[in-house]
Structure 1
Amino acid sequence: MLLNSALILLGCAVRHASASEVYNTFDGDGFPACNAVAKVYRPSTVDEMVTIVKNASAQGIPVRASGNAHMWFDTMCSDNPNTIIVKTDAVNGISDLQMDGNTGSVVVEAGVTFPQVAQWLQDRGAALGFTLVNWNITLGGAIAMGAHRSSLREDSQVSAAALAMDIINGKGELVHLEKSANNDTWLAATTSLGLLGIIARVKISVLADYKVWANQTTLDEEDVLNGDMFAQMSPYVTANYWWWPSVKKFHMRTYGVLPVNASGNAFQSTFSVTPVEGALALALLNGGQNSSTANFFSADTFYALWSAPNFHETVLNLPLISWPVVGHAYDVLIGGLYPNELPEWDYDLHGHTLELAVPIQQGPALLRRVRELFDQSAADGQAVTSTYRSGINIKLGKPFDSFLGQTTERVGNVTADWSKGAMMFDFPSFVPTTGDRHRFNEAWYTTLATTLINEFPVRPHWTKNTRTIFGQAVKNLDQDSLRRFAAVRAQFDPDKTFRSVVGEIIGVV
């Protein structure tokens, strides 16, 4: 009763607030996910989240859920400054592990991160499958945003592991859903963008514990741009490319399964940086704000560093220096931070990114078009290359049916064959910390996005693109899927308590 009364009073204060605050992405100050919100709540139970939503809905206050703000741009909320955030990271219970031989299930709450559940499972002889993604993302957030691993052989979208979920709808009611591949409600819930409500609990499929090997080979650019990506990557349980345009090379990273008793304790982190590395990288990348030559030097340096494994051995915490490496599934596929190191964004190594999905058969053609744009920038005297410490990430996705999924075979009026899966072109670029913070040849990035959206049937990643790019890409989305998603959303949230800029742009709110 006291909690309910307090929340009502807080809700009234929110409604009449004259001040608001910025809610940032994981990058921190200067990188807003929401430009103005009235209040950020951090509940610790599902019941508290239910109460917050119920009271906000009764007063017409917009609500958005957020795990760890795994966003790049200001698209998470609507532009209503009365919006409140329900931060879910403290609602992180794990329970009810059920195993039947090599497969099973577990129930996780909204704010559980991949490292939390991975360690909990490993302690009990189980492991996540191949749908895991970045170490700092919550599982509820990953399902809502359509997050994915990179694989053409195994299920790669996080939602594919969901067997059931509880969603707090726009009225503050807890709605239980069971997996049903042909049901519109399930097809909407598995990439909901948070527009159906807050994903409070998820029952996910798990496997008996296992290890994996990781290997990396270097390819000439032409081997990928003129090759058969499906043939190259489909044999592996998970695989991806890192593109280094400055040297016209690709790193091809591949993974396979080993028994849990295999020798090896490798642990990786894409984002783990020492203070010395952070300072050097920041100086190198800032030097490229007004210099093409400096950008190419930085890119060549990072290419050389990434040719060796970005893995440590977990017992002695010593770098591994040769491929392949072996370790527990989560440690090798995702990992986290090394001891006494911080994520790169803590050193002002921030990025803007563009991520677009295209049918894998058209992947090489899209990359060839990007190469043409690189070459044109050089011919114009303003040569551009990758300006991020890990190159351009080329990921792959097995088809997964969801109204707003990147790899769904739903095509609508845009003719394209997605039946073999998708290639995700993920192009992060460094945001300078000096001057006007524009990148070298800033206009080129606008040309890149517009060209790919107009010339290919690309679909946008839901947290890695600007408002402008979402607006341009709407024409490539299946309009029937949007209509059917909007119909489910209207049932869950008729008063539009949950809304976002993305939902407004694509017309489902």
Structure 2
Amino acid sequence: MMRKIIIKAVNILTKVFIPTLFFIASFEVFAGGGGPPKPTTSAEKIRFTFTADSSPAKIMPIRRLEGVQIWPAKDETNITHYNVYWGDSERNKLGLALAPKLAHIAAKNDGKVLEYEFNSLKMEAGAIWMLVCTENDGKEYCGKDNNLEKIVDPLLAINRTLTDIKSLLSSNNESTCSGFDVMATCGNNTCDGIETADSCPSDCGPWGLASFNFQTLCDDVKNAYHPTSVSEIQQIINDAAANNQHVKVNGGAGANVTTGSASSVVCTDGVVIQMDKFDHNQPGLGMSLEVFEGKEVVNVAAGTRLSELGDWLYERGRGIGYAHLGWADPTVAGAIGTSAHGSSATSNNVISHRVISLDVIDPQGQLKTYSRGTTGENGTDLWKAMTTHLGYLGVITRARIEIEDAKNVHVKITFHEEKELFEENAGSVWDDIKDCDYGQYNWFPSQNRYLKTCGKTTTEASDPGANNKLLLPYVDLSQLNEQQTMQIFQLGGCQPNSGAHDKMAYMRVNGWHLTPPLVRDIDGEQRYTTNAIGPIHKMTSSHLIALSREMFQMDWEVAVPAKNIQAAMEYVRDFTNGINAKNRKIPVPLIGIFVRFSKSENESLMAYSGSGGPFEDGTHVAHIEMPIFVPVNLTDAEFAEYMGPYEEAQKILIEQFGARGHWGKNQHSMDTWLFELQKTAGSYDHDNRLQRFSNEVGQFDPNGMFANPFAKAMGISYPNFTYPSDW
């Protein structure tokens, strides 16, 4: 009986199906040769942007999809559109034939990356991938290779890594890891626990001035002043001259009035003038908009922070473009002093090169104005010396900085595999970023991953609350508290092969996928995102994280000329993968290797990205920066084992790739070896730049009032001053 039912059902289906097939076939004949061919190729690559869940700690976070970037197929002959879907665990459309089409994007056949913005599309439950299929007028091909990206996080793997970190912590102490128990308290600004002046100098040492990261500790400072007026500064200078004391000026931009620069360029054996109170909030020191020497400028007090300058200008429809730094809070004069930079492949981003005039108190206590149009045209190098002054050319009280119309920038952050920068890159590292008005990489070599940040100037309105939090990340201290965090970094210092730093690199890059480095407000609530529009100064700069414990870190940073960038990056890749003197892999766990870009310009003598020699005027420069943890209380041999590879890399980058070091970084233990190496290597001998700078310093300050040991390491000489032998 069952067999008869089945046969009858088949007969019914056959009667229905055969005429249907005949109709479809007849339609295709009349339509012309079977219609358009089905695509056979997929998009080369896709990346999406998103907003994180409102609760970062949620076990199963639900994201909002913001946009998608599609690298088109190499051959788009039979492709009219790209269709976007959610994908399931098998990399199929979520819902198969019933899957909703999230976007229908026309192919352009120009080889350029397609960008599509969603209206905050909520992630579908069960979605694992974002899938992009190719279409040719209704016929679709859905590959399963590079045309998809995973949209969920490896939460189980993250939890296992966190468990492994806690296991490492529980199985170590001072006897197995030098400094481990010291780090239980070191960095809390109190000399306690088992700390001593030798084991934890930041808490117990006799220093009179410290850099923000406590890697530069100036022990010989006699006094520190915080002036609020020009007359106060003049009195300090006159008193110092009468007492034959040296003077050093710094911005006091770090926490607890520490210095923003972290090399001994900030130190002195005399008095320190800290400009933390010499800002626009003081009577008579406010900001103003002017026209000076034919340029529209802002006239600003030297101690004003760049973040505050950006806010003030933006409220008035003005700005300084992409010249804001990655860190939001250096002072104006401090940023000028070291030729500090932002990151832009298309625009000027060195604030020194936007300066039109400087008001300066000289060693005689006289206030004078120097300008591009006067000082810069008098046949001397004084103006070009002043625009990267390094603190050797008096006390800057005000600066006039060229301004422009305020602009917003649309920033997108995407996550990539390391091979996309190298073997799968048809061009170069530069080619992948050159169209970004604001662009940088955060590269984690031990994870074979990197974040790409690309911002483009836009006329669109700013998103509410849009801001950059790259240096102020979300931290869940309930999972790993401050003491545990410091101790696991210490463990990676005393035992470089323990895997501690590699595990922390894994947590950092995945942490940014859970809570990305940008924020904006949605329905009155701050949300972490990889896609936001905001004012340039807020989207390109971040405040520093503030914890009850200091993070002992330093930055190795060099600028590499355009012609050597790709080779230098490939060297760094090899170096981090174990091709170094210690034959070990080098994780860089804090924020990865920071790769930023600027333009080499002939505006100052000592800008470390400025033109001269291999740095051709008008070409691009890559800033390759390795922010690393610095362990405490290691033996000399242990410290050399940990730090040796990093120092080796900087030496090779300078000697073999023509790099130059950032003046306000590149130092630990008060050791100026890198800057002495530059002198030996002739990094600033092109066009006699170092000698010309030294000449101008000597003429301005013949008695060496502003001299210090760092000046000696650089190679500056003074007509009437001889360096002490202990310098």
- TM-score w.r.t. the length of structure 2 is 0.61
Deviates more, 1:488-497 or 1:282-291: 282-291
Residue 121 of structure 1 deviates from its aligned partner by 2.2
**Two-structure CA RMSD over aligned residues (Å):** 2.7
Give the AA of the match of 1:128: I
Aligned-partner SS, 1:160: helix
Cα displacement (A) at 1:372: 2.2
Match for residue 49 of structure 1?
A: 233
1:358-410 superposed Cα distances (whole Å, 9 cap, x missing partner): 1022112112112222233589664321132x111111111222100122221
Report how many residues are paired. Answer: 474
Match of 1:151 among 344, 357, 361: 344
Please give the secondary structure, in 1, of the residue aligned with 2:432. helix
Which residue of structure 1 aligns with residue 311 of structure 2? 119
Which of 445, 452, 468 is 2:673 aligned to?
Answer: 468
Equivalent residue of 2:358, what SS?
strand
- Any idea what SS the aligned residue of 1:27 has? coil
For the 8 Å contact 1:269–1:310, the answer to whether it is kept is yes
Q: Deviations over 1:194-246 (max 9, x none)?
A: 11111110011223333211112234324334642333223222211111111
Unaligned runs of 5+ in 2: 1-204, 253-258, 281-285, 718-727
Partner Cα distance (1:213, 1:99) in 2? 30
Which one of the candidate residues 371, 377, 385 is aligned to 1:188?
Answer: 385
Indicate which of 211, 236, 239 corresponds to 1:25.
211
- Give SS of 1:347's match: coil
Q: Following the alignment from structure 2 to structure 1, what is the Cα–Cα distance between the partners of residues 218 and 608?
A: 24
329, 333, 339: which one pairs with 2:540?
A: 333
1:88 corresponds to which letter in structure 2?
Answer: M
**Does the CA contact (< 8 Å) of 1:213 and 1:257 recur in 2?**
yes
Among all aligned residue pairs of Structure 1 and Structure 2, give the percentage whose two residues are the same amino acid. 21
CA distance in 2: counterparts of 1:119 and 1:170, whole angstroms: 34
Cα distance between partner residues in 1 of 2:597 and 2:332: 20
Give the Cα separation in 2 of the matches to 1:46 and 1:256: 41
- Per-residue Cα deviation, 1:291-316 (whole angstroms, up to 9, x for no partner): 53121111111111234521222584
Q: 1:220 to 1:360 in 2, by over 3 A?
A: farther
Deviation, 1:264, is 4.5
SS in 2 for 1:483: helix
Matched residue, 2:625? 426
Distance 2:265 2:537 in 1: 30
* TM superposition score normalised by structure 1: 0.86
Give the match for residue 405 of structure 1.
Answer: 607
Distance 1:317 1:348, change over 3 A: farther
CA distance, structure 2, for counterparts of residue 137 and residue 447 of structure 1: 29
Separation in 1 of the partners of 2:678 and 2:419?
A: 28
Question: Relative to structure 1, is the Cα distance of residues 260 and 64 closer, same or farther in structure 2, using a 3 angstrom cutoff?
Answer: farther
Work out whether 1:88 is the aligned partner of 2:275.
yes
Alignment of 1:140-219 (within 5 A): 140-180=333-373, 184-219=381-416
Q: Distance in 2 between matches of 1:370 and 1:359?
A: 15
Structure 2 partner of 1:504: 712
Q: CA-to-partner distance for each residue in 1:325-358, whole Å, 9 max, x for gaps?
A: 1122222111436xxxx525x4332212211111
Give yes or no for contact 2:341–2:349 (8 Å, CA) kept in 1. Answer: yes
Residues 1:265 and 2:465 aligned together: yes
From 670, 681, 689, the equivalent of 1:481 is 689
| Rg larger in structure | 2
- SS of 1:176's equivalent? strand
Q: Hey, what does 1:8 align to over in structure 2? A: none
Once the 2 structures are TM-superposed, how far is the Cα of residue 482 of structure 1 from its aligned partner? Answer: 1.1
Single out whichever of 224-233 and 327-336 deviates more from structure 2.
224-233
Q: Which amino acid aligns with 2:219?
A: N
Q: Deviations over 1:82-129 (max 9, x none)?
A: x110001111023222489xx942111111001221222233333332
State the shift of 1:186 in Å. 1.3
Cα distance 1:319–1:297, how it changes in 2: closer, same or farther (>3 A)?
same
SS, match of residue 246 in structure 1: helix
Q: Structure 1 residues 223, 260: CA separation in 2 closer, same or farther (over 3 Å shift)?
A: closer
2:586 is the alignment partner of 1:384: yes
* CA separation of 1:222 and 1:36: change in aligned 2, threshold 3 A: same
Cα drift, residue 145 of structure 1: 1.2
Q: Which residue of 2 aligns with 1:72?
A: 262
CA distance in 2, matches of 1:228, 1:327: 29
Give the aligned partner of residue 184 of structure 2: none
Q: Are 1:353 and 2:555 counterparts?
A: yes
Query: Could you tell me which amino acid in structure 2 is paired with residue 148 of structure 1?
Result: H
Pairwise CA distance, 1:468: 0.7
Structure with larger RCO (C-alpha < 8 A, sep 6+): 1
Counterpart amino acid of residue 276 in structure 2: D
- CA contact 2:463–2:521 (8 Å) conserved in 1: no
1:438 to 1:271, Cα distance in 2 relative to 1, 3 A: farther
